[in-house]
Structure 1
């Protein structure tokens, strides 16, 4: 199983973010290949998907946060866990 990590850096638009947070979370919840997601301590977002980079990139192109200009920067890359309890829990 290939894992793809997506890192979002956000524009500082707290009102816009609050207004569209439910749509963003609903969009993510609808992604069957999403393994985990959540905010980071620096205010960024981390998403981990099963799949290929091209497929994940196409999927996150539809994130409502992108459509309203909240995502300032997006990095997408393959991720290979090597150690840790999550590796076993994910069946890697």
Structure 2
């Protein structure tokens, strides 16, 4: 199964983000195909799933952050790890 990366660029709405953060995290925690996720130092979000692009795109359409208007841009793409210590640890 492929690894699918989702990169969120957020709108600058800190109060709205705080209001919907728990629902966003609960949504992601409920995804059995989620491998890793978290914020980046530039204020974006990076999510890593196992699956196929079309399925992941459909799944993240249900993210409460999207419904709240917090996601300014979303990029979804396949990622192929080649080197690194996590590759073997994660069985990639």
Q: TM-score range by the shorter chain?
A: over 0.9
- 1-structure distance, mates of 2:6, 2:89: 20
**Which secondary structure state, in structure 2, belongs to the residue aligned with residue 41 of structure 1?**
coil
| Cα-Cα RMSD | 0.5
Indicate the residue corresponding to 2:57 in structure 1.
57
Kindly report which structure 2 residues correspond to 1:6-85, keeping only aligned pairs within 5 A, or say none.
Answer: 6-85=6-85
After TM superposition, the runs of 4+ consecutive aligned structure 1 residues lying more than 3 A away are none
Shift of 1:82: 0.3
Q: What's the TM-score once normalised by structure 1's chain length?
A: 0.98
Aligned residues: 92
Distance apart, 1:89 and its partner CA: 1.3
Q: How many Å separate the matches in 1 of 2:27 and 2:85?
A: 28
Unaligned stretches of 5+ residues in structure 1 = none
In the alignment, the residues of structure 1 paired with residue 4 and residue 86 of structure 2 have an alpha-carbon distance, to the nearest angstrom, of: 15
Gaps of 5+ in 2: none
Shift of residue 86 of structure 1? 1.1
Question: Residues of 2 paired with 1:31 and 1:64: CA distance?
Answer: 13
